[in-house]
């Protein structure tokens, strides 16, 4: 498997990927939240000076709608990449661990019915493990 790398040795990423990761990282910072909240406060304080008019309301409504619309795509791109990377890492662990069920490698491709059946299998395994643990605990206490 070959990954294209830059001169610095880092994997090459598209401009949009770099941009979306940077924006998503910046949007999650406390300072950015404080700045956004500050803008809302400033906007609210200007209301009495402009008579709480339609244009005054339109400014905040339009601004927040545009920002939200664009952020959905940027954050979704970043989230999709993170999820895909996580799936690949988990798939590698499943593939390399002896005794695992390799049918689990592409779970994200299955429909809801198949996922529920597999989940029910694991719930049953967990229930049996808890019951076995409880029996062992009772036996240990009885023997003590």
Which pLDDT does position 69 carry in this prediction?
A: 97
Residue found by looking up tokens 């709608």 in the block: 65
Mean pLDDT for the chain overall:
89
Overall average pLDDT of the 138-144 stretch = 81
Overall average pLDDT of the 3-22 stretch = 81
The SS3 of residue 132 is helix
State pTM to two decimals.
0.63
Which pLDDT does position 13 carry in this prediction?
A: 84
Q: What single string gives the DSSP state of each residue in 61-128?
A: HHHHHHHHHHHHHHHHHHHHHHHHHHHHHHHHHHHHSTT--GGGGGGGGS-HHHHHHHHHHHHHHHHH
Contacts of 55 (CB under 8 A, 6+ apart): none
Interval 59-118: pLDDT, tens? 999 999 999 999 999 989 989 999 999 999 999 998 899 888 888 888 888 899 999 999
Which pLDDT does position 12 carry in this prediction?
A: 81
């Amino acid at each position: 498997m070959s990954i294209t790398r830059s001169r610095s040795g880092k994997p090459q990423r598209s401009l949009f990927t770099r941009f979306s990761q940077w924006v998503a990282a910046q949007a999650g910072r406390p300072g950015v939240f404080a700045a956004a909240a500050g803008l809302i406060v400033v906007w609210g304080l200007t209301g009495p000076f402009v008579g709480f008019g339609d244009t005054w309301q339109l400014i905040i409504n339009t601004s927040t709608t545009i920002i939200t619309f664009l952020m959905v795509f940027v954050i979704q791109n970043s989230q999709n990449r993170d999820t895909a990377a996580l799936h690949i890492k988990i798939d590698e662990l499943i593939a390399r661990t002896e005794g695992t069920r390799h049918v689990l490698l592409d779970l994200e491709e299955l429909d809801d019915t198949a996922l529920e059946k597999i989940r029910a299998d694991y719930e049953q395994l967990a229930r049996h493990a808890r019951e076995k643990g409880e029996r062992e605990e009772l036996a240990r206490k009885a023997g003590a």
